[in-house]
Amino acid sequence: MRGLRHFLRYLLWMNGRTLKRHPWRVCAVLLGIALGAIAFTGVRLAVDASLDSFTQSMNLLSGKADWSVVRPGGRVQEDLVAELRNVPGLRGVSPVIMSYVAPTEANQEPFLLIGLAPILDRQFRDWQVLSGDKESRNLWLDLMRRPYTLVLSRRLATRLGRGPGDEIGLEHVHQAKRFHVLGILEPKGLALVHNGNIAVCDVATMQEFMGLHGKIDRIDLRFDNREDPKTMDQVKALLPPGTVVQPATARKDMGKELISSYQLNLSVLSFVSLFVGLFLVYSLVSINAASRRRDLAVFHSLGASSRLVFLLILSEGALLGILGWLIAIPAGRFLVKYWVAGIGNTINTLFVRVEVSGLQLDPWELVLSFLVTVLISAAGAYKPARQATRIQPREVMILEGGGGMAWRGPKVRTAVLGAVLVVAAWPLAELPLVSRSPIAGYVAVFSLIVGFSLLTLPFLQWGGERVPRVLRRLGGVPAFLAARYLRGVDERTSISVGAMVIAVSLFVSLAIMVHSFRETVTLWVNQTLSGDLFVRAEMAGMNQYRDPLPQDVVDAFQEFEVDAELMPYQRLYLEYRGIPYQLEAMALDVLFRNGDFMLLDKEVEEVRDALLAGKGVLVSEVFSNRTGLEVGETFRVRLEGEEFAWPVLAIARDYRTRGGAVFMDFGHFQEITGSREWGGVRFFFQNRDNLEASVEALRKKIILCCAMEHPLEILSGSQLRGEVLEIFDETFAVTAVLLLIALCIAGLGIAGTLTVLVMERSRQLNTLIAIGAGQGQLRRMVLWEAVLMVAAGEAIGLVGGLCLSQLLIYVINPQSFGWTFLYRVDWFTLAVSLPVILATALLAAVPATQSVMRLSPAGVLKEG
């Protein structure tokens, strides 16, 4: 205990002196650590909030159900409910219909309407009406007895301004109806789904409202013994072809997998911001250790062990991590809500529908954040601590004061290690997935960026040998002296430049990836999503196209006299070996005249005839990567109870985020299924003159003939494609913030290193003043040092970014999301951004140049 007190006293004494003598240097490092911790912690808490809200909603929706009977791409026959209730071993059977509906009042967001059989559902889900009046006890009977009645969650009732006895207008693609509000749900159980944006009605009311006669979405089952094979066999024996039984948690598990994959990507990116802070800690701790070499030598002389010295220096790094984390947590509380809003919106748009109910601080996430921050900071102090144990008292005592101790590593060994890490990135990237996560790909990314950062030291020393004479002609003696300094640059300087290398590498690679992605998506939406006007049932996307266009709307469209081609399509949400995908049947002859597919390894002309003849299908790149189905292999699907098989003709680029896609001809689809339903339709105008006026005229015509009776979504092609690209830009907003944080931390590292270098060379600089050098010349020399350091970081970072972009596009994206895109370098953005980064980083030279003049030459020389 006594030894621990002495250790803490030494630690606080050493750090107290540092803080007192160089407060701004310490504050800059703490700020860098805090920024990294805020990024890492905020991202994980925000994704956890979305994941928790999604999981809670799915758990409440599935309730106590063990299994669910569903019909992929369609609905289940209601007759099955009575048959399943007679199966021994089944404790409960409950029919369910769910659909998003929109209030008829303007500016009201859609909400989830759930149709249940109140008596049968009692043992599955928890939902109670708020007590307070006599009628509430028998309200569930009224819900069954009276048509077009519902109960609202308290949150939804508040949002809509409705209470018991009021009416609310709701619209679905088939009709709009007035519903009578019977009561308000207690804020628990089912009422908490989607953050309380739900209402409950009787399943018969739901069927009538949606035009579903004898059909339901699913049948939830409770087994006496969930694993009883006999009961399961009896259930399966009753199911007609095309109807299957699946775990009640199937949707939840698929959604969690998508969100977790997104969380892993953001966690790795935010970890880089924290990782860059390691370089700040390394620089500060090594500088402090060097400046205390006499104190450490005295410790050695008085009997202090190397282990004690090592622990003192290492603990200094850990202490910086602790302080930085303590600063980050209260500061991050004000920023996390913006993370939650941005990340939650991205998850809701791209993956699964989720409404975040609020942020809850997860103790385990805080512990993880604390441990990662402290370990990263301690890792930054590890090498200075090891080097401090090698200080020999005799050598230190005979050294002259004034200069810092430069710890240089062998240039050749550092260069070789860096080159090995860079080269090793590619074989690492080829390793298989670990638990369906691209862990090896991320290891390859870190190997690459660390390898390039290690190349900084030999590159700077090489530059110190080659560029001084060239710079002398450009910038005179100050530029020459600044370049000559690079010959003797030590690890501390190279570490700070290495932080800039990592930040610039990330910037360049992400700039290339985002530009490539956007260029490819733009090409995709203009070809595959071509069309001048799109029409589908209202909220068709939210309801997974389960509600086709009404037949009278289809008939009206076919009778229109407009100079436009119609391209009807049908979209089914199915599963292939447990993997969700969308089967899209479209009038391919119309599409080929007005648009195209983007194929990976073939030209469309090679497969066009076979596609139009129904002799095969196209599969998306995502579908192929997730299922392993390649060109020439057989795709199998069950439609209307019958199984079909077609060869895969080609693989197409497609950037939907809610599963892969399979494309086939609409005419052939109708022929084999006998279905005449349209999920939606696109209009292509043949006369492209005055296109906007033609589109607007057709839109008004559709509203007058159809949309007054049947709620429809009518979007112009330019509007739809603009919204797709807008969603794309919003998706990368979080990435841009994380990248900005990494650049800021790297800038702090450059600023701190320059200031310290100037202070350590105060004797040399003031000697130059004493022999006639002007202050302006010294300022220019320090400025040139900053230019060379940042330029070196940008040069290596540019090469590293180009290599890293290859890994992101061709390894990380396919493994994480299943797609690749066309490689495009945005040279204009890089040409503009890199000089801006250079100019911004040069602001670091301002405090450094000011510190040159703080002491008089006579005073500095006298101290020596």
The predicted pLDDT at position 401 comes to 42
Q: Is residue 510 part of a domain?
A: no
Q: Is residue 836 part of a domain?
A: no
**Quick one: DSSP state of residue 841?**
H
State the Cα–Cα distance between residues 356 and 344, nearest whole angstrom.
7
- pLDDT of 765 > 70? The answer is no
Instruction: Select the more confidently predicted residue: 604 or 24.
Output: 604
Look at residues 425, 415, 417 and name the one whose alpha carbon lies nearest to residue 460: 415
Instruction: Select the more confidently predicted residue: 288 or 631.
Output: 631
**Quick one: DSSP state of residue 671?**
H
State the Cα–Cα distance between residues 323 and 165, nearest whole angstrom.
58
In this structure, are 79 and 160 located in the same domain?
Answer: yes
Q: Is residue 59 part of a domain?
A: yes
- pLDDT of 423 > 70? The answer is yes
- pLDDT of 645 > 90? The answer is yes
The three state secondary structure string of 80-135 is: HHHHHHCCCCEEEEEEEEEEEEEECCCCCCCEEEEEECHHHHCCCCCCCECCCCHH
**Quick one: DSSP state of residue 548?**
P
- pLDDT of 852 > 60? The answer is no
In this structure, are 301 and 213 located in the same domain?
Answer: no
Query: Which amino acid would we find at residue 801?
Result: G
Q: Is residue 758 part of a domain?
A: no
- pLDDT of 283 > 80? The answer is no
- pLDDT of 617 > 90? The answer is yes
Instruction: Select the more confidently predicted residue: 407 or 22.
Output: 22
Look at residues 344, 283, 351, 341 and name the one whose alpha carbon lies nearest to residue 317: 283
In this structure, are 223 and 339 located in the same domain?
Answer: no
In this structure, are 221 and 256 located in the same domain?
Answer: no
Least confident range of 404-418, 491-505, 629-643: 404-418
Number of helices and strands in the chain (H, E): 32, 20
Q: Which residues contact 773 (CB under 8 A, 6 or more apart)?
A: none
What is the residue-wise DSSP string for 700-724? HHHIIIIITTS-EEEEEHHHHHHHH
* Residues 501, 456 contacting (CB under 8 angstroms): yes
Sign, CA torsion 501/503/506/508: negative
Q: Of 352, 378, 399, which residue sits at a domain end?
A: 399
Burial of 214 (0-12, 13-18, 19+ CB in 10 A): exposed
* Residues 485, 734 contacting (CB under 8 angstroms): no
Instruction: Select the more confidently predicted residue: 234 or 466.
Output: 234
Confidence of residue 845 (pLDDT cuts 50, 70, 90): low
The predicted pLDDT at position 10 comes to 65
State the Cα–Cα distance between residues 579 and 237, nearest whole angstrom.
24
Q: Is residue 413 part of a domain?
A: no
The predicted pLDDT at position 436 comes to 66
In this structure, are 237 and 315 located in the same domain?
Answer: no
In this structure, are 223 and 363 located in the same domain?
Answer: no
Give the chain's length: 864
Radius of gyration (C-alpha) of the chain in whole angstroms:
33
Partners of 796 in the β-ladder:
none
**Quick one: DSSP state of residue 784?**
H
Q: Which residues contact 654 (CB under 8 A, 6 or more apart)?
A: 524, 528, 620, 621, 622, 660, 661, 819
Confidence of residue 17 (pLDDT cuts 50, 70, 90): low
Mean pLDDT of the 459-487 span: 77
In this structure, are 585 and 697 located in the same domain?
Answer: yes
The predicted pLDDT at position 255 comes to 73
Q: HSE, CB side, 13 Å, CA atoms: give it for residue 789.
A: 34
Secondary structure percentages of the chain, helix, strand, coil, to 5: 60, 15, 25
State the Cα–Cα distance between residues 517 and 599, nearest whole angstrom.
16
Supply 531's token pair: 């069309």
Look at residues 789, 779, 790, 791 and name the one whose alpha carbon lies nearest to residue 848: 779
Q: Of 247, 277, 295, which residue sits at a domain end?
A: 247
The three state secondary structure string of 426-473 is: HHHHCCCCECCECHHHHHHHHHHHHHHHHCHHHHHHHHHHHCHHHHHH
Look at residues 745, 762, 754 and name the one whose alpha carbon lies nearest to residue 848: 754
- pLDDT of 203 > 50? The answer is yes
Supply 14's token pair: 């050493």
Confidence of residue 309 (pLDDT cuts 50, 70, 90): confident
- pLDDT of 6 > 70? The answer is no
824 phi/psi in degrees, rounded to 5: -135, 130
The predicted pLDDT at position 859 comes to 47
Q: HSE, CB side, 13 Å, CA atoms: give it for residue 531.
A: 27
The predicted pLDDT at position 482 comes to 75
H or E stretch at 569: strand 564-576
- pLDDT of 728 > 80? The answer is no
Instruction: Select the more confidently predicted residue: 342 or 90.
Output: 90
In this structure, are 105 and 55 located in the same domain?
Answer: no
State the Cα–Cα distance between residues 449 and 454, nearest whole angstrom.
9
The predicted pLDDT at position 78 comes to 93
State the Cα–Cα distance between residues 663 and 54, nearest whole angstrom.
30
Q: Is residue 164 part of a domain?
A: yes
Q: HSE, CB side, 13 Å, CA atoms: give it for residue 252.
A: 18
State the Cα–Cα distance between residues 675 and 377, nearest whole angstrom.
64
Instruction: Report the b/e string of 482-510 with b at 16+ CB within 10 A.
Output: bbbbbeebbbbbbbbbbbbbbbbbbbbbb
pLDDT, tens digit, 9 for 90 and up, residues 137-149: 577 788 888 999 9
Query: Which amino acid would we find at residue 164?
Result: P
Q: Of 247, 273, 301, which residue sits at a domain end?
A: 247
In this structure, are 336 and 384 located in the same domain?
Answer: yes
- Sheet strands (E) in 369-464: none
Vertex 52, ends 75 and 67: CA angle to 5°?
Answer: 35
Confidence of residue 621 (pLDDT cuts 50, 70, 90): very high
* Residues 209, 374 contacting (CB under 8 angstroms): no
CB neighbourhood size of 4 (10 A) = 8
Q: How far is CA 9 from the centre of its chain?
A: 45
Query: Which amino acid would we find at residue 339?
Result: W
The predicted pLDDT at position 561 comes to 83
CB neighbourhood size of 112 (10 A) = 22
- pLDDT of 863 > 50? The answer is no
What is the residue-wise DSSP string for 543-566? TTT-SPPPHHHHHHHHH---SEEE
Query: Which amino acid would we find at residue 214?
Result: G
* Residues 452, 459 contacting (CB under 8 angstroms): no
- Domain enclosing residue 581, as ranges: 539-710
In this structure, are 598 and 631 located in the same domain?
Answer: yes
In this structure, are 218 and 111 located in the same domain?
Answer: yes
Confidence of residue 198 (pLDDT cuts 50, 70, 90): very high
Least confident range of 1-10, 437-446, 474-483: 1-10
Least confident range of 203-217, 218-232, 254-268, 338-352: 338-352
The predicted pLDDT at position 811 comes to 86
- pLDDT of 618 > 90? The answer is yes
* Residues 505, 801 contacting (CB under 8 angstroms): yes
Count structural domains, the chain. 3
The predicted pLDDT at position 262 comes to 72
- pLDDT of 862 > 60? The answer is no
State the Cα–Cα distance between residues 423 and 792, nearest whole angstrom.
21
Q: Is residue 746 part of a domain?
A: no
**Quick one: DSSP state of residue 656?**
-
Sign, CA torsion 702/707/708/709: positive
Partners of 223 in the β-ladder:
90
The pTM score is: 0.80
Look at residues 806, 156, 13 and name the one whose alpha carbon lies nearest to residue 444: 806
Mean pLDDT of the 702-713 span: 85
Pairing of strands 218-223, 90-103: antiparallel
Vertex 445, ends 440 and 446: CA angle to 5°?
Answer: 100
The predicted pLDDT at position 400 comes to 44
State the Cα–Cα distance between residues 221 and 450, nearest whole angstrom.
53
pLDDT, tens digit, 9 for 90 and up, residues 394-414: 555 544 444 444 444 456 777
Supply 169's token pair: 């207008």
pLDDT, tens digit, 9 for 90 and up, residues 809-828: 888 888 777 888 889 988 88
The predicted pLDDT at position 681 comes to 95
State the Cα–Cα distance between residues 24 and 168, nearest whole angstrom.
62
Instruction: Select the more confidently predicted residue: 499 or 860.
Output: 499
- pLDDT of 27 > 80? The answer is no
Instruction: Select the more confidently predicted residue: 748 or 314.
Output: 314
The predicted pLDDT at position 759 comes to 59
Q: Is residue 825 part of a domain?
A: no
Quickly tell me which residue has 């129904």 as its tokens: 614
The predicted pLDDT at position 95 comes to 95
In this structure, are 207 and 303 located in the same domain?
Answer: no
